[in-house]
C-alpha cells in the first residue's frame, strides 16, 4: 500500500489549536515582564534578588515534588533538598549572610538544570509547563523589595508545595498559590511583610509606609498627589506595584493574545470604583494604589481558581472588587486584595455550578427560547 504501513490511528479531532499550557504560561510571564523589568531598575539588586530567589525556588519545589511523587531519583532529590536548606544556613551562620541567597540560588539552579537537561536511563527529563515560574514571579511581585532573602525562599515552598502540589498539582488547587504564600507569610512574619518598602531613585531614600497605609491613617491628605507616582514609579509598595501603567500594558497584551478575557479585570476594577464612590473614598486613588491592578489583571484571572463561564467571571470580578474595597475601608489592614481573591477562590466551584450556561435548545423556566 501507498503508506507502507504504520498509519497513526488516533481519536478526532485531528488538528489542534497551537496553544498549549506552556505557551499560555509563557505569555503570562511576558505580560508581567514590563512591570518586572521596571521594578528591577527601580529597586536594583534587592528587587532582582527577591525575584530570582522566588522564581528559582518555585521551579525547584516543582521539580523536587514531582521527582518524589513519581519515585524518580529519590536519593538525589532528597540530597538536593537538604543541601539547599543546610548550606545557606551554614553560610549564614559563618557570618557570610550576604552569600547565603547566592548559595541557595546556585544549588537550586544546578539541580533544576540537571533535571531538565540530563536524560538518565529509563527516566523522562523534567518538562516545565511554566506554571511554577508564573507562581514564583507573582509571589515575588507581592512581596516588599527589602524582605530578608529567606522570605521568598520559604514563600515559594509554601506556594508550590502547600498552595498547589498538595492538592494534586496544577489545575487542582483551590487557592491561588502565590496568594496563599503571601497570606501565610503575612501571618507568620508581619514585621517583615509590612515594612521594607524602599526606593533607590529620588530624594526620598526610604519611605516607611505605602500610600495605602498613609491614606488609611489619614496621614496623606491630598491623595491626588499620588496619582502620577502610582501610575509610573510607586514610591512605596510591593515589587509588582511599581507601576499600574506597565501592569495594564502587560494586561492589554494578554487580552489581545486572548490569554485572559475582559470579564474579571473589568468587573473587578469597575466594582472597586463603584464601591469606593459609594463609600465616599477616592476611586482613582484606590484603583491605582496597592495590588488592585496586579490582583485584577494577573491574580484574579488565574484560570485554575476562577470560574470558567463568562457569567461566572463577571460575578467573581464584582465580588472581588466589592470585598477588596470593604476590607480596605472597614478592616484594620490597609490592603484587601489578597484576602478578597482568596475568599472568592473558595467560592469559585459554587459560582461555576450556579452559572452553568444554558445548553443549546434547553428551555429553562422563565427564560423562553425564541420560536
Residues that bind another protein (CB under 8 A): 1-4, 7-17, 19-21, 23-24, 93, 129, 131, 154, 162, 166, 169-172, 183-185, 187-190, 261, 303-304, 306-310, 313, 352, 356-363, 369-371
Burial pattern 58-93, b for ≥16 Cβ within 10 A else e, equals bbbbbbbbbbeeeebbeeebeebbebbeeebeebbe
CB of 295 to another protein, least distance (A): 19
Give the integer Cα–Cα distance in Å for 91 and 100.
6
Q: Compare residues 235 and 307 and give the one whose CB is closer to another protein.
A: 307
Closest alpha carbon to 226 in 289, 294, 141: 289
Asked if 335 and 144 count as a contact pair (C-beta separation under 8 A), the reply is no
Q: C-beta of 306: minimal distance to another protein in Å?
A: 8
Tell me the closest approach of the beta carbon of residue 259 to another protein, in angstroms.
9
Cβ-based nearer residue to another protein, 74 or 310: 310
Task: DSSP for 280-295, please give it.
Answer: TS-HHHHHHSTTHHHI
13 vs 218, which CB is nearer to another protein? Answer: 13
Residue 349 phi, psi (nearest 5): -60, -35
For another protein, the closer of residues 16 and 332 by Cβ is 16
Least distance (Å) between residue 28 CB and another protein: 11
Report in angstroms how near the CB of residue 273 gets to another protein at its nearest. 25
Cell of 93: 551562620
For the bound state, the minimum distance from the C-beta of residue 72 to another protein, rounded and expressed in Å, comes to 14
Q: What is the DSSP letter of 242?
A: S
Residue closer to another protein, measured from CB, 166 or 252:
166
Query: Which residues lie closer than 8 Å to 35 by C-beta, 6 or more apart?
Result: 141, 240, 242, 243, 246, 247, 250, 294
| Shortest Å, Cβ 43 to another protein | 22
For the chain, helix, strand, coil in percent to 5 are 65, 0, 35
Determine the Cα–Cα distance for residues 58 and 60; give it in Å rounded to an integer: 5
Q: Least distance from C-beta 192 to another protein, angstroms?
A: 8
Nearer to another protein, 25 or 287 (CB): 25
- Nearest CB to another protein, comparing residues 227 and 303: 303
Report the SS3 class of residue 364: strand
Phi-psi region of 122 (alpha: psi -120 to 50; beta: other; left: phi over 0): left
C-alpha R_g of the chain: 23
Q: Which is nearer to another protein, 203 or 362 (CB)?
A: 362
Q: CA 231 → CA 20, 206, 226, 299, 320, distances in Å?
A: 33, 19, 8, 19, 22
**CB–CB of 108/84 below 8 Å?**
yes
Task: Select 226 or 316, whichever has its Cβ closest to another protein.
Answer: 316
CB of 9 to another protein, least distance (A): 5
CA distance 296 to 282: 18
- 155: its cell numbers: 514563600
Residue closer to another protein (CB basis): 111 or 316: 316
DSSP line for 333-355: SS--HHHHHHHHHHHHHHHHHHT
Least gap, CB of 223 to another protein (angstroms): 32
Amino acid at each position: 500500500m501507498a503508506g507502507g504501513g504504520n498509519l497513526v490511528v488516533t481519536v478526532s479531532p485531528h488538528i489542534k489549536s497551537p496553544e498549549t499550557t506552556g505557551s499560555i504560561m509563557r505569555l503570562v510571564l511576558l505580560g508581567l515582564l514590563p512591570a518586572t523589568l521596571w521594578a528591577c531598575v527601580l529597586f536594583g539588586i534587592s528587587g532582582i534578588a527577591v525575584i530570582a530567589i522566588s522564581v528559582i525556588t518555585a521551579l525547584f519545589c516543582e521539580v523536587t515534588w514531582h521527582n518524589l511523587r513519581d519515585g524518580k531519583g529519590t536519593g538525589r532529590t532528597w540530597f538536593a533538598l537538604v543541601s539547599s536548606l543546610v548550606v545557606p544556613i551554614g553560610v549564614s551562620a559563618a557570618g557570610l549572610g550576604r552569600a547565603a541567597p547566592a548559595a541557595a540560588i546556585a544549588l537550586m539552579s544546578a539541580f533544576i538544570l540537571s533535571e531538565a537537561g540530563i536524560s538518565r536511563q529509563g527516566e523522562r527529563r523534567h518538562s516545565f509547563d511554566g506554571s511554577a515560574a508564573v507562581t514564583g514571579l507573582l509571589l515575588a511581585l507581592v512581596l516588599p523589595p527589602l524582605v530578608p532573602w529567606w522570605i521568598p525562599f520559604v514563600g515559594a515552598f509554601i506556594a508550590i508545595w502547600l498552595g498547589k502540589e498538595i492538592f494534586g498539582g496544577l489545575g487542582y488547587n483551590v487557592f491561588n498559590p502565590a496568594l496563599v504564600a503571601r497570606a501565610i507569610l503575612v501571618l507568620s512574619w508581619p514585621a517583615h511583610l509590612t515594612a521594607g518598602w524602599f526606593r533607590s531613585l529620588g530624594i526620598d531614600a526610604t519611605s516607611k509606609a505605602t500610600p495605602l497605609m498613609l491614606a488609611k491613617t489619614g496621614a496623606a491628605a491630598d491623595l491626588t498627589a499620588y496619582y502620577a507616582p502610582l501610575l509610573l514609579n510607586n514610591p512605596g509598595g510591593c515589587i509588582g506595584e511599581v507601576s499600574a501603567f506597565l501592569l495594564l500594558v502587560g494586561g492589554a497584551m494578554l487580552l489581545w493574545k486572548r490569554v485572559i478575557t475582559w470579564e474579571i479585570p473589568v468587573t473587578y476594577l469597575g466594582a472597586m470604583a463603584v464601591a469606593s464612590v459609594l463609600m465616599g473614598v477616592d476611586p482613582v486613588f484606590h484603583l491605582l494604589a496597592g495590588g488592585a491592578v496586579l490582583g485584577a489583571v494577573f491574580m484574579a484571572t488565574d484560570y485554575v481558581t476562577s470560574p470558567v463561564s463568562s457569567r461566572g467571571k463577571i460575578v467573581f470580578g464584582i465580588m472581588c472588587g466589592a470585598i477588596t474595597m470593604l476590607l480596605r475601608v472597614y478592616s484594620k489592614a490597609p490592603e484587601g486584595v489578597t484576602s478578597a481573591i482568596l475568599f472568592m477562590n473558595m467560592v469559585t466551584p459554587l459560582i461555576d455550578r450556579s452559572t452553568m450556561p444554558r445548553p443549546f435548545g434547553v428551555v429553562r423556566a422563565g427564560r423562553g427560547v425564541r420560536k
